[in-house]
Structure 1
Amino acid sequence: MPVSSATSSDTSALAAGSPDFAALCRIARDLLDMPFACLWQGDHVGLAGSDDGTFGRSVAAALQTGLPPDDPASPLLVLGDTRDGPALAKLSGIAGEERVRFLAVLKVPVPAACHLEPCRLAVFDTRPRDFDADQRRRLLDLGTLAGQALQLSWQAELARLQETEFRLLAETSTDTIVRGNLEGIRLYISPSVRALLGYEPEELIGHRAIDIVHPDDRESFGALMAEIRAGKLETGASEVRQRHKDGHWVWMEASVRLTHDPATGAANGYVASVRDIQRRKQAESHLEYLASHDTLTGLANRAVFDRRLAEAVLQAQRDGRRFALFCMDIDGFKRINDTFGHQAGDAVLREAARRFQAAIGDDDTAVRLGGDEFALIRMLDNTDAAVSVTTMAGRLIDAMARPILFRAHEIQATLSIGIALAPQDGLDVDQILSAADRALYAAKLGGRNTYRFASR
């Protein structure tokens, strides 16, 4: 086994994180007025001697392998003269012309929880010696200090390994790990923030996360972080947009946990795990779009129409707010399909929807109900309701009057409109719908490409 030696003028090179065994040996040698001292634990050995080290190293090597079994009753073995210990007389480096005559060996006390190899501290001399009670006490005290040093070294090494593992987890995680204080200042950000937001960690450390949160999300995010920092919430989650370094917004989900000082239990900051949810948000947005829009024309669908009409009726019942319901059919749509094919019919429907959208106002709701049936809900001001409705009907009919180009064909399509007004044509959904349908039927009977009011 390798042995590190030290004289009064040099120090052994020891493994990183381990106590300085040679220094402990020098203290033992000087404290007990001995020419030699050695300390070993497995392959790790320290030595202090008064010679060039050859004799001391040979004795240390012999002691490492040749000591008798430990006496459970006493951690300290003392031989004033090794001739009295026949088992030791056979050890290499002890028998011979130059031999050990005095030996004291102490089993260094180390807590079992540390799971360390046994450690021994020995002092020896080439002549017999007495070893009084005071010297025994000093050696025992020194052994206690050596054991504490080993325990601290083990704890430090354990902490270093744990830190290495935690850092590996943080720095290789696809989630971005953030450590912040109670003021919201970020103290650590894992490297994955480069992929998430385009920043180097150092660019964000020392700043608050809310500084780059989207204005629409700032209030809710700030409220969550305030509750976390105040100790009102131990954990919380938030979906927010943060500004990428190149300027665009990134949807992310942050799971935040309050942290506490292990000694006092007082809140001392937070840890957050942040992940990109851009694709999920895009998928959710697409699903929401599909649930509320007609896939062919992009207009609102029947579900939106039912909800929007119910809301308009409720406003009319509660506040007297007036509105108009337009029910619209494309005239001769079956003929268009039969003449030019269904692809042409789809093109006409898409173009009709585009023209409707261009003609209506921001507060109007245009809907495709199915087939060639469309509807429009228009909220009205009390002052110019009739003019507003008539003007809109004319605008829609004029928009459809222009030919629609499909491949090499110019397709002519016209529009018939039936209009019901609330409250005069009814104050519930079925009444208004029925009135608008009657008006549409009247427009078709009147020659198509026109509009009719239900109450005229």
Structure 2
Amino acid sequence: MLIMITGYRKLKRRRMYQREQQMMLTIMRGSSLASVWLVFAFIASEMTGESSIIPLDSLPTYAGLILACTLRVAMSKHQFLAVAEQRYKLLFTLSSSGIALINSEGKTVETNPAFNQLAGISNGEDIDLLEIIPPDKHASYKETIRQAFQNSKMQQDLQVQIINRQGIPYTVEVNSDFLEIEGVMHCYLLVRDITQQQQNEARLIELAYTDSLTGLANRYQFNLRLQEALERSRDYNTRVVVMQMDLDHFKWINDTMGHSAGDLLLIDVAQLIRLQAPQNSIVARMGGDEFALLVELAPGQGDAVATNIANRILHGFERQIVLRDKHYHVSCSIGICIAPEDGRDTEILLRNADTAMYAAKRMGRNQYHLFNETLKNAAEQYLLMQQGLETALLRDEFSLVYQPQVDSRSGAVIGAEALLRWNSAELGFVSPQDFIPIAEQSGMIRQIGEWVMLEAARQAVKWVKDGCCDKMQISVNVSASQLSDPAFSHKVATVLQTTGLLPRQLCLEFTESAAIREEEHVIAMCDELVSMGVTLAVDDFGTGYSSMRTVTAFPFQFIKIDRSLIFDIDRNPRNEAVVRSVLELADRLHMNVLAEGVETLEHVDMLQQLGCYYIQGYYYGRPMAVEAFEQWMLNRKIHMKRPS
């Protein structure tokens, strides 16, 4: 009774179960009547004693009869069984999943509208499921049905391809259960359409493995395919070709025509490479304007196959590409390496192909280069230097040497240029020409450059305090990477504040090519540095294509003439004319000029005749360590004090 009351209260809180509430209320009333009758009959029996009309043992039976009658009335009055059947029919009809009852022959006995729609049949029509199963699957389907009915068990979450009567293909997921109806075994199928779900999953996979712009494989897919090819190569003793391709001067098109034009060009290039590549190859866009090609060679095929493919691609680039009604000629540089000779894993092969590609660029672009032993040694050396540079600062392997800058009229030292040296524990002394480009490519040049500036500033302050040179100006080279650092001017200010070096005692040198890389940003930063009092110098002047524009656009105070114009100035009238023009330009712009690479007295005499007096070169002094430089300055003071 207590359980009924609790159930009734729960049902009462839910408006959707009003019929159940009424039925429960009727049952509760019947139960109450049976209880009252049971108590009354018990009292009556006790009072009448031996003459009791209803034996005590029969009281529960009569109470049960009353309760049974009440249940019968409740179920009949409130149509309990009909409601359950109606609910089943409602769920069966409105289910978004297809439901079909099939017999052991695979024919439908009952289906709901969702299944009918999937199968392309009308409501109430029964079909043999073979009608919507692809013909090549009929045999396996029959066997599956036979075993399922034999074992009363079918595989769950079964994915099946069907083609309905209208010819529309679907992928469906089938779950099932068995039940016996009038002594005959039947199977209920719950069929869910997962076509869209699979299409979405396929799209996600495509996005993960494909370059969205060109439709080629992306770097991730290329690496996976290369790994698989290398495994097959080891199993069957075959060779694998890897090519890295990079467009020549692609940045120019991006900068002049915009990134949308650059994207159109990349799409065209992707199609061009795909057309020239073998059918069994993998073409990928690795990022930016870099592409890669993977080809598995058949047994017996050699390097000639790889070079023929590279030549076809290069010839394909000979045709002009049309961008916005204008014709452009685009070329590429190709690096080729072949496994297993040039490497046995993905990373090494891609790096070696990249090394060969840059060798092709250095040789003039628009050509291919095979990875070879020379490049291999250079690549190994590159890797050793890259790894060594990562720890060189921590291991205190860097040092500075100083080359004096002299006023040739008086012989006075006006400054010194700080030059970086690296003595590696593994590699020994490494030339700056070798390790500086690697530091720039890896981005380590920023950290190294900050160390150079701080050390040079500290040394300059010490020399001034020691009286070695009253007007010492220390010159420090700045890389393009440092110039692109938004916080560079702040870092310079921090160095000055930390060391106590006066801003006018610091000269920052950078090349014109570094200056024009991010012109607007660099000009703004240069203006900030000049306002602080720092001196700026354009280095290697005369070697670039935009020299005249550079000195007028940037707030340089010094021009450093490159040594290539100085080494034969006393014998080469052309170089003399160029230096004369630079001096005239500097005079009109109120800029100072310093000549680098001055090695002989003839050089000094010629430069003095032209009006260039600030000199840096072997004639006055080679780059020297701190102690040697201090001794050189001391000797020079003594020499200058002697009476002539």
Which band: TM-score by shorter chain?
A: 0.5 to 0.7
Letter in 2 for 1:117: V
Aligned twin of 2:194: 277
1:438 is aligned to 355
> Structure 1's 177 and 295: CA in aligned 2 closer, same or farther, altered over 3 A?
same
Using the TM superposition, give the Cα deviation of residue 168 of structure 1 relative to its aligned residue in structure 2, in angstroms. 2.4
Contact 2:103 2:109 in 1 (8 A): yes
Larger relative contact order (C-alpha < 8 A, sep ≥ 6)?
1
Is the 1:417–1:451 contact (alpha carbons within 8 Å) kept by the matching residues of 2? Answer: yes
* Aligned counterpart, 1:233: 153
CA contact (8 A) 2:152 2:178 kept: no
Deviations 1:8-54 (A, max 9, x none): xxxxxxxxxxxxxxxxxxxxxxxxxxxxxxxxxxxxxxxxxxxxxxx
What residue in structure 2 maps to residue 207 of structure 1? 128
> 1:281 deviation in Å?
1.5
The 5 Å alignment of 1:17-416 reads 112=68, 115-117=71-73, 161-203=83-125, 205-208=126-129, 210-214=130-134, 225=145, 228-231=148-151, 233=153, 236-260=156-180, 268-416=185-333
TM-score of the two chains, using structure 1 as the length reference: 0.61
Give me the whole-angstrom Cα distance separating, in 2, the residues matched to 1:247 and 1:257: 28
Give yes or no for contact 1:217–1:241 (8 Å, CA) kept in 2.
Answer: no
> CA–CA distance in 2 between the matches of 1:282 and 1:382?
39
Counterpart Cα distance in 2 of 1:327 and 1:452: 10
How far, CA to CA, are the matches of 1:400 and 1:225 in structure 2?
Answer: 59
State the alpha-carbon separation in 2 of the partners of residues 220 and 449 from structure 1.
Answer: 57
Structure 2 CA distance for partners of 1:236 and 1:320, relative to 1, 3 Å: same
Off by >4 Å, runs of 4+ in structure 1: 69-73, 157-161, 214-227
In the alignment, the residues of structure 1 paired with residue 140 and residue 294 of structure 2 have an alpha-carbon distance, to the nearest angstrom, of 34
Q: Deviations over 1:101-156 (max 9, x none)?
A: xxxxxxxx7981772339xxxxxxxxxxxxxxxxxxxxxxxxxxxxxxxx9xx69x
- Cα deviations across residues 395-431 of structure 1 (Å, max 9, x unaligned)? 2222233222222222321121111112222223333
Q: Secondary structure at the match of 1:317?
A: helix
Taking only the aligned residue pairs, the percentage that are identical comes to 31
Aligned match of 1:124: none
User: How far is the alpha carbon of 1:218 from its aligned partner?
Assistant: 6.9
Q: Is the 8 A contact 1:197 1:250 kept in 2?
A: no
For 1:217 and 1:206, locate their aligned partners in 2 and report how far apart those are by CA, in whole Å.
17
Question: Would you say the 8 A contact 2:321–2:329 is kept in 1?
Answer: yes
- Contact preservation (8 Å) 2:98, 2:116: no
Checking the alignment, whether the CA contact within 8 Å between 1:214 and 1:249 is kept in structure 2 is: no
Structure 2 letter corresponding to 1:195: Q
The alpha-carbon distance between structure 1 residues 111 and 396, as it changes in their structure 2 partners (threshold 3 A), is farther
Distance verdict in 2 for CA 1:219–1:402, change over 3 Å: farther
Alpha-carbon distance in 1 for matches of 2:351, 2:148: 55
Q: Tell me if structure 1 keeps the 8 A contact 2:104–2:145.
A: no
Tell me the CA shift for residue 348 of structure 1. 0.9
SS at match of 1:117: helix
CA 316–279 in structure 1, closer or farther in 2 if over 3 Å, else same: same
Q: Which sections of structure 2, spanning at least 5 residues, go unmatched?
A: 1-35, 42-64, 374-644
The offset of 1:225, in angstroms, is 4.6
CA distance in 2, matches of 1:339, 1:223: 67
Note closer, same or farther for the CA distance 1:307–1:408 as it changes in structure 2 (3 Å cut): same
Q: Distance in 1 between matches of 2:186 and 2:238?
A: 53
Q: 1:206: how far off?
A: 3.8
Q: In structure 1, what residue type is equivalent to 2:110?
A: Y
Contact 1:176 1:275 (8 Å CA) reproduced:
yes
Cα distance in 1 between the residues matched to 2:283 and 2:70: 75
| Conserved 8 A contact 1:231-1:258 | no
Q: CA deviation at 1:334?
A: 0.7
Inter-CA distance 375–113: structure 2 relative to 1 (3 Å threshold) = farther
Q: Whole-Å Cα distance in 2 between the matches of residues 275 and 434 of structure 1?
A: 49
1:296-345, CA deviations, whole angstroms, 9 ceiling, x for partnerless residues?
11111111111111112222222212111011111111111112111111
1:234: Cα distance to partner? 5.8
In structure 2, distance between residues paired with 1:432 and 1:215: 47
Aligned pair in 2 of structure 1 residues 114, 226: CA closer, same or farther (>3 Å)? farther
Q: Which residue does the alignment assign to 2:487?
A: none
The alpha carbon displacement at 1:207 in A equals 0.2
More helix by share: 2
Contact kept in structure 2, 1:193 and 1:201, CA below 8 Å: no
CA positional deviation for 1:194: 4.2
CA contact (8 A) 2:157 2:175 kept: yes
1:246-293, Cα deviation, whole Å (9 max, x unpaired): 2131122222223245x87xx812111212222212211111111111
What is the root-mean-square deviation in Å for CA atoms of aligned residues? 3.3
Q: Which amino acid aligns with 1:176?
A: G
The one-character-per-residue Cα deviations of 1:195-241 (angstroms, maximum 9, x if unpaired) are: 334322455x2402x44234687788667655533326366112222
Q: Distance in 1 between matches of 2:351 and 2:149?
A: 58
Tell me which amino acid in the other structure corresponds to 2:360: A
SS in structure 2 of the partner of residue 424 of structure 1: coil
Aligned residues: 313
Seen in structure 2, the aligned counterparts of structure 1 residues 302 and 214 have a Cα distance that, compared at 3 Å, is farther
2:300 aligns to what SS in structure 1?
A: coil
Once residues 137 and 355 of structure 2 are traced to their aligned partners in structure 1, the CA distance between those partners, rounded to angstroms, is: 47
Aligned residue identity for 2:93: E
Rounded to whole Å, the distance in 1 between the matches of 2:319 and 2:341 is 34
Secondary structure at the counterpart of residue 175 of structure 2: strand
